[in-house]
Amino acid sequence: MIKILIFLFFVFAFTIALIFLAHITEATDAVAAYTSSRGEGSCPVSGTNCPRVRFWNSSAGGTWGSEINLTNLSSNAVRKNVIKYSPIDEKIVLVALPSDGGPGGYVCTGNCNNVNSWNSTDNITGALWGASSQERRFDIEFETSTGDAILVYAEVNTSESCDLEFLVLDANATSFSGLTGTCINDTTATNDVQYSWVILARNTSNISQQLTLLASDSTNFDIIAWIWNGTAFGNQYELSTSSVLQSREGLAAAYADDNSKSMIAVRAGTVGLVNSSYWNGTVWTSITAFDIDTSDLLDVDWLTLKADPATDDLQGIIIDSGNDLHTYYWNGADWNITSNLDADVDTAVARPADFAWNPSGSTGQLVWETDLNETTLSNITCRPQCTEPEVTISTYDANGTTLALYTNPTDGDTVNILAARQRTNATTVALGSFSWNGTDYTSYSDTVFTQGTGNINEHFTIAFRLVTLTNFTVTLPGNNLTKSAPATNQNRSVASVEFNGSDADAKNINGTIIGNSSANQTLTVSLLQINNTGNVPISIILMLNETPASGVTVFADLDNNPAGGSAINATQENVINASIPVWVTEEIWVWTNYTSFTSSGSVIDLNISSRAA
C-alpha cells in the first residue's frame, strides 16, 4: 500500500511539474485574442462572454499553443477584441468590448500563459454603443518611447464638446483600475457627434511618443484625424465630410517605416473616391483624391494600409460595394491604383481580403476569398504592386468572411506572415489561421482557434512580440554590473548606476557605461535622472562608438573619444529618454561627463534597459 501511495505521489508531482513547465516555457512570439462560443471554464454556458487568448511559437513553421480563457466581465457576448504588445517590454494589453457596450481591460506583465497573470477591470469606460454592431468604436496603442498605452473610445453621450475620450495606461501600471477619461472635442461639429470607427497608428521611432488618431462619425459622416504629442490630441484635420456607409471600415492610417509621414486614406462620398493626406511632422499636407475605378460609381466599403519595412512606401486593399477588390500603392510620391483584381469576392458585408509585406520589405502577399463554399484562397505576390499572376491556395474550408494578414517583425523567423481567417458553413462560424514562409502557405487548420465564434465580423486581432529582453554588462571604473533578462513579473532588464559628487572631485567626474550585447537588441537610456542636490551645472554626454545601420538616428556623435560627443544639457530632475541600436557582440558606450561639481552630495542616477533592436 505504501509503495502504491509513493508511486501515486510521484505521478502527481510529475504531472504538476509538467503543467508548471508548460506555463513557463511555452513561447510567446505572437498572441491572438478572439471570441469563441464554446462554453467552458469561467464561461460554462455562453462562451462568447469571455475573451480568449492563444500564443504562437515561431520555431520551425510555427505552432499555436493552448487556449487561455480569460475572466468573464460581462453577461453579453464579446464583439471586439484588440490586443497589443508593448514596444519597451513584454507587457500585453487587451480591450474586449461586449454587446452591452462597456469594455473590459486586461493587462499582463509576465508569465502570460497563466490565466492568473492577467489583471482584469470591468467597464473601464461607459457604454460605447446602445445596440451591438460590427463597428469598432475604440482602439488602443502604445507610445514607442515610454510604453504608456493610450486608449481612445467613443462613449455614448449627449455632450457637444466630448465627442471622443482617451485614457492613459502608464507603462508601470498593471491594470486599468481607477483610470478616468479625458475628452476630445471635434471642433468641426457644433452638435452632439457619435463616432463609429476609431483607429490609432504608432510612430515607431524609439524616441517618439507620437500617435495618429483617425475616427469616423456616424452623425455628420465626417472623418477626422488628430496627432497625439505625448500629452494631448491636437492638429485636428478633416479628411471627408461624406463618408456615408458607417457600418464598414472605410478609413486607414499607417506610419511609413522611416516615420517620415503618417499617411491616412478615407472614403469620400459614394462613388469610389478616396481622400488621402499625411502628417509630415509639422503640418498635414493638402488632400489628394483618387478614384478606385473610373469605369463605375461603386462606393468604398473597406480599406487597409500597411507600411513597407524597407522603404517609405505603403500599400493597402480596397473592397467596394460591388464586391470588387482593388489595391492602392504609395511609391513615396503618389498613389498607384490596381483596379478590379477580382470582381466578386465572397462578401462585402465583412472584409474577406488583406495585404501584408514580407518582413524584408519591397514584396508582400495579397490574399482574398472568391470561391464561395469551395476550398481555395486566391493569392498574388506583390513586387511591390499587385500585378503578378493570380494563383490559388488549396485546403481551406467553406465560405470565408473576414481575413487579416500580419507581418512578422522578425525577419530571421521561418514565418514571414501570420493570418487569421474566419469562415462560415451551414452550421458554424469558425476561426482558423495560416502562415506564409516566403515560399509556401501552411494551414494551422480552419478551426485552430475555435469551431464557433457566433460572430462573422472581425472580433479578433493578432499582435507580435516586439521586445526580447537579453543580458547586458555595465562597466564602470572599478565596477562591473551584469544584468540578466528579467523575471517574468518584471517589465525590463535594468542596470542602475549612481555617481556621487564630493569636494575631493569637485572639478570633474567622468564615467563610461560599456554594454556588450548578447543578441540583437537596443540599449535604452530609459531614465537619465539628475538628482542634483547641489544644484550646480552638469553636462551630460551620451556617445556611441560604432557606425549605426542605415537610416538609424543616433542621439549623440559617433566618436571613440568621449570628449568628442555632443552634450545634452540636463538640469535638476530632468529626464532624458534615448535609445542606441546595438547589434550582435557590438560594444556601446554611454559617456557621462560631469563638470563643475562644486558641492558634495550631488547625485546622478543612470538606468539602462535592454530590448530587441
pLDDT digits (tens, 9 = 90+) for 434-463: 999 999 999 999 889 987 766 667 899 999
Reply yes or no on whether the pLDDT at 228 is more than 90. yes
Q: Residue 204 has which C-alpha cell?
A: 515607431
Of 141-150, 236-245, 578-587, give the lowest mean pLDDT range. Answer: 578-587
Strand partners, 541: 567
Q: What is the pLDDT of residues 394-418, one digit of tens each?
A: 878 777 889 999 999 988 889 999 9
Q: Report how far residue 386's alpha carbon sits from residue 380's, in angstroms, rounded to the nearest whole number.
A: 6
Average pLDDT, whole number, for the chain?
A: 76
pLDDT score for 481: 45
pLDDT for res 426: 57
pLDDT score for 247: 84
Confidence band for 28, pLDDT divided at 50, 70 and 90: low
pLDDT for 46: 61
- Residue 15 has what pLDDT? 41
> Per-residue pLDDT for 594 more than 90?
no
pLDDT at 21: 34
Asked if pLDDT for residue 248 goes beyond 60, the answer is yes
pLDDT for 80 beyond 50? yes
What is residue 538's predicted lDDT score, i.e. its pLDDT? 37
What span, in angstroms and rounded, lies between the C-alpha atoms of 216 and 209?
23
292, 297, 302, 303 alpha-carbon torsion, rounded to 10°: 20
Helix (H, G, I), strand (E, B) or coil at 4: helix
Looking at residue 188, its amino acid is: T
Contact 421, 446 (CB under 8 A): yes
Distances (CA, A) of 548 to 564, 579, 588, 612: 17, 12, 11, 15
Q: Tell me, what's the pLDDT at 395?
A: 73
Cα–Cα dist 471/585, whole Å? 12
Q: Which residue has the higher pLDDT, 271 or 599?
A: 271
DSSP state of 117: G
Question: Given the DSSP bridges, would you call strands 461-464 and 119-121 parallel, antiparallel or unpaired?
Answer: unpaired
Sheet with 521-531: strands ordered across: 493-500, 603-611, 521-531, 575-582
Q: Which domains does the chain have, with CATH numbers?
A: 25-464 (2.130.10.10), 472-611 (2.60.120)
Residue 497: pLDDT band by 50, 70, 90 thresholds?
Answer: very low
Ranking 73-82, 151-160, 362-371 by mean pLDDT, the lowest is 73-82
For residues 545-572, one letter each, b for 16 or more C-beta atoms within 10 angstroms of the residue's C-beta and e for the rest, the string is bbeeeeeeebbbbebeebeebeebebee
Q: What is the pLDDT of residue 68?
A: 92
Range name among 114-118, 242-246, 352-356, 358-362 with the lowest pLDDT average: 242-246
Q: Minimal CA–CA distance to 346: which of 317, 327, 325?
A: 325
pTM of this structure: 0.79
Return the closest-CA partner of residue 427 out of 408, 393, 452, 455: 452
Question: Where in 559-612 does DSSP place strands (E)?
Answer: 567-569, 575-582, 587-595, 603-611
As a whole number of angstroms, the distance between CA 185 and CA 161 comes to 5
Q: What is the pLDDT of residue 40?
A: 60
What share of the chain has pLDDT > 90, as a percent?
A: 49
Q: Identify the pLDDT of residue 180.
A: 94
Distance CA 54, CA 41 (A): 15
pLDDT > 80? residue 156? yes
Beta bridge partners of 317: 327
Question: Alpha-carbon distance 485 to 474, whole Å?
Answer: 14
Backbone angles phi, psi at 351, to 5 degrees: -110, 95
User: Hey, what's the cell of 397?
Assistant: 474550408
What pLDDT sits at residue 213?
A: 98
Choose the weakest-confidence range: 17-31, 379-393, 525-539: 525-539
- 610, 240 in Cβ contact below 8 A? no
Say what the pLDDT of residue 13 is.
42
pLDDT at 401: 87
Own/partner long-range contacts of 500-507 (Cβ < 8 Å, ≥24 apart)? 500/601, 500/602, 500/603, 501/534, 501/594, 501/597, 501/599, 501/600, 501/601, 501/602, 501/603, 502/597, 502/600, 503/599, 503/600, 505/597, 506/597, 506/598, 506/599, 507/595, 507/596, 507/597
**141: pLDDT confidence band, cut at 50, 70 and 90?**
very high
Q: 225 - beta bridge partners?
A: 214, 237
For residue 450, list its beta bridge partners. 431
Q: What are phi and psi of 403, to 5 degrees?
A: -135, 135
Contact residues for 192 (Cβ-Cβ < 8 A; gap 6+): 157, 158, 159, 160, 163, 219
pLDDT of 132: 56
Range in 87-96, 336-345, 463-472 the model is least confident about: 463-472
The model's confidence at residue 499, banded by pLDDT at 50, 70 and 90, is very low
Exposure on the CB side of residue 145, measured as CA atoms within 13 A? 18
Q: Model confidence over 119-140: pLDDT tens digits?
A: 999 999 998 976 557 889 999 9
Pick the residue with more confidence: 581 or 121?
121
Q: What pLDDT digit, counting tens, does each position of 562-579 carry? A: 333 333 333 322 333 344
Which of 83-97, 221-235, 347-361, 544-558 has the least mean pLDDT?
A: 544-558
34 CB neighbour count, 10 Å cutoff: 25
Query: Using one digit for the tens of pLDDT, what is the confidence trace for 264-286?
Result: 999 998 899 999 999 999 999 99
pLDDT at 153: 97
DSSP structure string for 506-568: -SEEEEEEEEE-SSSEEEEEEEEEEE-TT----EEE--B-SPPPTT---SS-B-SSGGGSPEE
Q: How far are the Cα atoms of 203, 394, 429, 432, 593 from residue 442, in angstroms, in the given order?
A: 32, 10, 21, 12, 55
Q: What φ, ψ does residue 48 adopt, rounded to 5°?
A: -70, -10
Average pLDDT score over residue span 97-119: 90
Give 272 or 43, the one with higher predicted confidence.
272
